[in-house]
Amino acid sequence: MKTVTLDIPDTINLDKKEIAMIIASTLYDQGKLSLGQASELAGLSKRTFAELLSQYGVSVINHPATDLTRDIANA
């Protein structure tokens, strides 16, 4: 796992857990991490991470529309 150091202005009042959640939810939303990988990055269980996603404007259902079209065609 990579370690990244960020310089965040003192005026932004975020703790480490919230920063990890922001990064994990963004990477999950972009499809770069699975739910399990993102929850691990955030330091949370899959269930807790999934429950918190909506607070960050991210849907727990993270599939492209093409998957839905393919699933309907195969039904």
Rg (alpha carbons) of the chain, rounded to whole number: 15
From the list 50, 41, 45, 44, the residue with the least C-alpha distance to 20 is: 41
Give the pLDDT score at 20: 94
Residue among 31, 28, 30 at smallest CA distance from 52: 28
Average pLDDT over residues 62-68: 69
- Distances in Å between the Cα of 30 and the Cα atoms of 11, 52, 53, 71, 74 are 27, 16, 13, 21, 26
Q: Is the pLDDT of residue 70 over 90?
A: no
Give the pLDDT band of residue 65 (cuts 50, 70, 90): low
| Confidence band, pLDDT 50/70/90 cuts, at residue 53 | very high
16-20: long-range pairs with CB below 8 Å, 24+: 17/42, 17/43
